[in-house]
Each structure stands twice: as C-alpha cells, then as structure tokens.
Amino acid sequence: MNQWSRIREFYKSLESLIAAESPNEWACNPYAWEDLEVILTPIEAWLWHDIRSMDLVLYPQYPINGVFVDFANPKAKVAIECDGEAFHTDKQKDEARDSSLRALGWRVYRITGRDCRDGVDDLTSSGKSKAHLFLEHIAGNHRIARGV
C-alpha cells in the first residue's frame, strides 16, 4: 500500500468522528497522521508549524474527491494549498482543481511557498508573519480555532 492509499484509508476511518465533531475541535489526535510516515514538503511543514501554534483544526494531506489538499477542515469545508514554485506553475490546472472543489462547496485558499517560509523573518507592521496573518484571516472567517 502506498503513502496516498494509507492516507486515504486513515481519513476514511475517521469520517464518522469528523462528522460528529464541530469545525473547531479535532476528531483525533492532531499528530495521529504522523504514524502513516507521511512526509510534508518543507513549505507544508512550515505552515503546519503555524497551524499548530495557533491551534487551528486543519488536517494535513486531506483527500477530497480524488485529490489531496495540503490542509483541510472538512466540517468547515476549508482547504489550504501551499503553492511552491516547482509544483504550481500551471495556474490553469490549479484553477480547474479549485473550481471543482468549489463546486463541492469548499472554500480554497492558496498561500505561496515564500509566505509559508518567511515566517518571523518577514514580519508585517503588525508584528506577525504573512503565514500567521493568512491563517488568522481563515480562522476568523470559518471559526476553526480550537475552543472558539
């Protein structure tokens, strides 16, 4: 069984738990997926660090309708894609994918790899990184921060 099949089976086993939980609460240990030996890209790992530090409920490498999104909250129908230069050069392909997800009721957000990476080295006037502000906006719009 390959990595993607393991991930798909993992989330399939959690479907009923996720469905029973509110958008701002985890259906499982947020690190349970690590047992699958899933390797995040560096930009995904940087954003995951921010997601966890802000206590947001977003599942990594979440399968939706035959594709995997970098991070998702299936209850809030929020998907986040980290756009690295190597894998996101075809903007039409990305838009077609986003469009198919939107047709299923999902809201898709995209952040550049540079903004995932810059972190505290590139603070805005508010003293927060671009990735933090990006996630804060999503959390405010969709109430996916724990305990909110």
pTM of the full predicted structure?
0.89
Structure-block tokens of residue 124: 């805005």
- Tens digits of residue pLDDT in 87-136: 556 778 888 999 999 999 999 999 988 888 775 455 555 568 889 999 99
Task: List the Cα angle 80/148/47 in 5-degree steps.
Answer: 30
- Tens digits of residue pLDDT in 10-49: 999 999 999 999 999 999 998 888 888 778 888 999 999 9
> What is the reported pLDDT for 91?
76
Task: Name the DSSP letter for residue 41.
Answer: P
> What is the reported pLDDT for 140?
95
Domain 3-142, CATH class in plain words: alpha beta
- Tens digits of residue pLDDT in 58-88: 999 999 999 999 999 999 999 999 987 665 5
Structure-block tokens of residue 50: 């921010």
